[in-house]
Amino acid sequence: MSSAPIGHEQLADLLMAVQGFRPPANALLELCSTGHLWETLSKPRRFGLSEKGKAEVLRCLSIKLVVKADELLQAAGSLKPSAAEFTSGAVFLDTYESAIRAGEDPVATLEQAIFVAWLVSRLDSQPQSGESLKICDHIDRADPARSPI
């Protein structure tokens, strides 16, 4: 598993997954192979951020705010966003992902980072049973388009 920091494109793909959207096959393959994402092959298919992926998202948000990721999670523990706050947080995530894809280096506010920590803490954990298989083990590396995804 790689311990090097992820790049902008990979961070944007992780943020896509935080929002519930499945990254493109090649990005999914790459992020599964580095241990940031997981996917089950059972029906219905499920995917999500591994603990490593969750930690990376929080690290990237917290580093610019000069707070620790665990401080964000602690603050998120008492968060109970209203519908308007949830909508605002979702808009922020979409805007943040787009800015990163455009090569910008956006900085979240503390409130936005706490919302992301709240959302990340509520994402599905990687299944511990035999149901959990990394999709990268099943993608045809020579031609991902031919894979059974």
Q: Which residues of the chain have pLDDT under 50?
A: 1-2, 132, 135, 140-149
Q: In whole numbers, what is the pLDDT of the chain averaged over residues? A: 86
- Does residue 3 sit within a domain? no
- Does residue 24 sit within a domain? yes
- Does residue 1 sit within a domain? no
Measure CA of the first residue to CA of the last residue in the chain; give whole Å. Answer: 23
- Does residue 2 sit within a domain? no
DSSP of 8-34: HHHHHHHHHHHTTPPPPHHHHHHHHHT
- Does residue 46 sit within a domain? yes
- Does residue 79 sit within a domain? yes
Does the predicted TM-score (pTM) go above 0.85?
Answer: no
Residue 51 contacts residue 1 (beta carbons within 8 Å): no
pLDDT digits (tens, 9 = 90+) for 3-20: 567 899 999 999 999 999
Number of domains within the chain: 1
Domain that holds residue 70: 8-146
